[in-house]
Chain A
């Protein structure tokens, strides 16, 4: 399978705990995006990387959130001191910059986070 993969698919945690999610993009894609989707809403942009550089962060990404892409391949999204409002589906997407297709983004299956 050469699509975008995310791990874990589901995470249940208690309020105040830290969680970390992983995303593996399509191998030749140099851009990677994180989105959050809550019930009844569409995906909301959180941040994106070009190679290892984090180029933009949404104001939705509070200080408790941090994302990394250390070698320009996989990425991690960490949420510290989770709150019940963090419960959502976290989606990762990747694209190929300059691919001539308007940077079409390919999505992974998402990680569903439930904070109790």
Chain B
């Protein structure tokens, strides 16, 4: 039961342009969403999050948008840098269980110099 889906396994973007990574979810009980970034041979590292009471959260070059009616969230990276090349995971947590995160399958971002 894949409750969090990232339908794009990979994305390639030119340095300086915008990267948009997408994530869809099915569980209406999810109230908190996170993006993690993962480099090879390392564990995922927290990047940015958003609560379901908001529709946008911004942190420097990273902005997450949440569309609850569509059960969709996206991560925008502007401007993209080669160091952003990594696998990005979307994760969600439900009101019924604060400790259980559901992860998507990840999108591999390649930012070309």
Contacts and interface: CB of A to CB of B under 8 A. Distances in A.
Interface stretch (B14-22, B39-47, B76-84): B39-47
B75 interface: no
A28 B14 CA distance: 41
A101 to B, nearest CB: 8
A108 B106 CA distance: 18
A42 B106 contact: yes
10 contacts: A33-B99, A35-B103, A48-B100, A55-B99, A102-B51, A102-B93, A103-B98, A103-B99, A105-B101, A109-B43
Interface string B91-107: 10100011111111110
B110 interface: no
A104 B104 CA distance: 17
Interface residues of A, number: 25
B9 to A, nearest CB: 7
A56 B44 contact: no
A109 B51 contact: no
Q: Is the interface of B mostly helix, strand, loop or mixed?
A: strand
B54 to A, nearest CB: 12
A41 to B, nearest CB: 5
A102 B45 CA distance: 15
Contacts of B98: 102-103
Interface of B: 4, 6, 9, 32, 34, 36, 41-46, 49, 51, 89, 91, 93, 97-106
Contacts of A110: 43
A107 B42 CA distance: 9
Given A41-B105, A43-B44, A56-B97, 19 more contacts: A33-B99, A40-B106, A41-B106, A42-B89, A42-B105, A42-B106, A43-B89, A44-B103, A48-B100, A56-B100, A91-B44, A95-B99, A102-B98, A104-B46, A105-B46, A107-B36, A107-B43, A108-B43, A109-B41
Contact of B43 (A4, A56, A103): A4
Contacts of A65: none
